[in-house]
Amino acid sequence: MDLLKTFSLFVATAIAEIVGCYLPYLWLKQDRSAWLLLPAAFSLALFAWLLSLHPTAAGRVYAAYGGVYVGVAIVWLMLVDKVRPTTTDWVGVAVSLLGMAIIMSGPRSNL
């Protein structure tokens, strides 16, 4: 799987996870409708399915996905929560993405 495809799949996966967690948050913390739990459950199922599309070992996928998740979460903070990320937020994203790149580009073993 090429790098752009993998990264795009990670971004879609992160959005599915964040939506799946954000909708129950709205219900619990902002007194919104419990009906939000239905699309939340669908979104979390989509999240799990998207993670399964990667051709490499699950543990490596989950570790690398974490780096992309951090970046998407900070963008969510900015676009949905309307909170301006700080410089340290962006540095954290850069470090997370670097970690993701190191994990995904490292040598592979079948052990």
Asked, for residue 111, whether it belongs to a domain, the answer is: no
Asked, for residue 56, whether it belongs to a domain, the answer is: yes
- What's the whole-number mean pLDDT along residues 81-85? 96
Domain range enclosing 17: 3-105
Indicate the pLDDT class of residue 87, thresholds 50, 70 and 90.
very high
Asked, for residue 7, whether it belongs to a domain, the answer is: yes
Asked, for residue 110, whether it belongs to a domain, the answer is: no
Q: Number of folded domains in the chain?
A: 1
pTM, full prediction? 0.84
Rounded Cα distance between 67 and 10, Å, is: 9
Indicate the pLDDT class of residue 1, thresholds 50, 70 and 90.
low
Per residue in 33-57, is it b (16+ CB within 10 Å) or e — as a string? eeebeeebeebbebbeebbeebeee
